[in-house]
Amino acid sequence: MAVPRSPAKWALVLLVVGLAGVAAAGALWWPDTAVRAERVEATVTAPASCGGADAYDRVEFTIGDEKRTARLDGCGHSPDEKVEVVLPVDREGGGEDDLLVQAAASTPVGLPFEDRLAAMLLCLSGLAGGLYAYLLTRRSRSAPAQPTAVAGAA
């Protein structure tokens, strides 16, 4: 037979579960800042037609004191147009034809709001489910057993 817990112990259990749920939601809600991509301004040197197989504009940008050229993951820009690009983390090595950059406007900054909201709601639903289970077990312990009437007994 299980030893019933006192209300103070149940409150402590619920407090720990609640704090764990809030901590998990906070950790998932916090924006991801581990990887910071470097953004630079680039100039389109050779635009490409969007209908071809090689639909990558060529851009030129400066990193430190070094001018570099790369392929822009996009097409249809005007010559000498200024575009803010995001440089890849592993941009060392390989030739200039291997370097592919993306437009900064099309690069996500962090976790989308919908994903963070879904994670927080998942944590809160787990917390609510635990509280509901606690209330059901508490209700079944406090209700006395009802004798069942046998049909046909008089």
**Residue 18 belongs to some domain of the structure:** yes
| Domain co-membership, 68 together with 100 | yes
Indicate if the pLDDT at residue 23 is higher than 60. Answer: yes
**Range in 69-78, 103-112, 118-127 the model is least confident about:** 103-112
| pLDDT tens-digit readout, 120-152 | 788 778 877 877 887 777 776 665 556 666 665
Q: Which residues form the domain of 122?
A: 7-32+111-130
User: What distance in Å separates the CA atoms of residue 87 and residue 120, rounded to the nearest whole number?
Assistant: 32
Calculate the alpha carbon distances from 13 to 103, 104, 127, 128, 142 in Å.
50, 47, 11, 13, 19
**Residue 1: pLDDT band with limits 50, 70, 90:** very low
The backbone torsions φ and ψ at residue 93, rounded to the nearest 5 degrees and listed phi first, read 85, 165
Residue 21 near residue 121 (C-beta atoms within 8 A):
no
| Domain co-membership, 54 together with 96 | yes
| Domain co-membership, 76 together with 92 | yes
| Domain co-membership, 102 together with 117 | no
**Residue 125 belongs to some domain of the structure:** yes
User: What distance in Å separates the CA atoms of residue 36 and residue 127, rounded to the nearest whole number?
Assistant: 34
pLDDT value, residue 42: 92
**Residue 151 belongs to some domain of the structure:** no
**Residue 63 belongs to some domain of the structure:** yes
| Domain co-membership, 18 together with 57 | no
| Domain co-membership, 93 together with 47 | yes
| Domain co-membership, 91 together with 54 | yes
| Domain co-membership, 100 together with 59 | yes
| Domain co-membership, 81 together with 117 | no
| Domain co-membership, 51 together with 102 | yes
**Residue 150 belongs to some domain of the structure:** no
The tally of domains found in the chain comes to: 2
Indicate if the pLDDT at residue 109 is higher than 50. Answer: yes
